[in-house]
Amino acid sequence: MLALRLARGARPLVQLRRLLVAAASAGTGFLLLYVLAGAVARAAGSFPRLLWALIPLAATVHFAVAVARADPATRPREGLDAAGLGPVRLMLVAVISTAVACALGSALALAAFLHLRGDLAGLPFDGAGAGLLHAGQPLPVAAALTLLALVPLAASAATALALRPHTPPAPQTRLPWGIALTACGLAALAYTGRGGAAMLVGWSLTAVGLALAGPGLTYACGSLVQALRPGGLRLLAGRALQEEAPRIGPPLGALCSVGAGALTALALHDRGGLDVPLGPLTGPAAGLVALCAIATLLTSSVEARQRRAAEREALRDLGASAKVLRTAASLRATALVAVCVPLSWGVAQLTSMALTR
């Protein structure tokens, strides 16, 4: 009940982020139902399709966790402990809010899927989606509900894991592991080539490696900004980057992996493309992953800005103008772009070479 009251009384921007989580959950749920309908109609090759559908699921869960972390209702405040709202209780509030948003999206996905199949009130759009969604085959109710429950359960578990009281590791400690996983992913792609479920392993290892390396890369960007006799502006931008590295680093690394995947697909377009067994929904699934990655980075940036509000007020009290703060923010963004764009291009080149050997 407390979680519902906090959700109802949240600001419009917070409500918008929760609605975006529900929309992402709806897209992922629709994709999972599409895979299930295809498996009922033709069981051969259904397992690789289900594995590839887990990538949008992971992107949706990552976005849901970022929204839960940025929610002001789940942030510890003075006096809440006396009211019985300690860190554990606030974590439970975040878990329930995430589960409700994702469950709403799953319900919308089921309603849209059944409507397009004509199972609710006739075939819409002159039956254009009936063949794509295999309307002639019965949909297993238990299997459909199980797949739709994956997003709320996974998002809730990930939110509880991310918001549990713990001390996060230093950003530099993750960088070697991220580089190692990325190298393993590239090696797996070179070994398996295009096609088959084994290619998904290489893609997954590369994406996880870049996400792990993201905090270390962000921290390194802050160090580079402060190098070679920095002035006050570069010191301000570099220290802010180093402080924000644990929050914006993982989504930044995930966005780099999405960019590398897009560049790889573009490079291999004239060579047969990538063998992703999702059929006509391959493009929408890729768009969903890209939008979730962008939204996760923006949400994490908002969270980092909210947590640094006291520091900005202190700088204003010391005489720092709004122009200086905006210039420092622009410098941080420029440094990240200058590192992440070449990184995405380099990973894409290595991936293209691995898949066309």
pLDDT, one tens digit per residue, over 112-122 is: 888 888 777 66
Distance CA 261, CA 52 (A): 14
Position 202 confidence tier, pLDDT thresholds 50, 70, 90: confident
Of 127-131, 136-140, 317-321, the one with minimum mean pLDDT is 127-131
Contact 335, 241 (CB under 8 A): yes
Distance CA 155, CA 61 (A): 5
Contact 2, 101 (CB under 8 A): no
Q: Is the pLDDT of residue 166 over 60?
A: yes
Distance CA 66, CA 298 (A): 9
- As a whole number, the mean pLDDT across the chain is 85
pLDDT value of residue 76:
61
Distance CA 49, CA 34 (A): 10
Contact 212, 168 (CB under 8 A): no
Q: Which residue has the higher pLDDT, 46 or 234?
A: 234
Q: Taking residues 97-105, what's their average pLDDT? A: 94
Q: Taking residues 137-163, what's their average pLDDT? A: 92
User: Three-state secondary structure along 147-215?
Assistant: HHCHHHHHHHHHHHHHHCCCCCCCHHHHHHHHHHHHHHHHHHHHHHCCCCCHHHHHHHHHHHHHHHHHH
Of 53-57, 129-133, 153-157, the one with minimum mean pLDDT is 129-133
Which of 74, 67, 23 has the alpha carbon at shortest distance from 298? Answer: 67
pLDDT value of residue 61:
97
Q: Which residue has the higher pLDDT, 95 or 8?
A: 95
pLDDT in tens, 310-348: 777 777 877 777 788 888 889 999 999 999 999 999 999
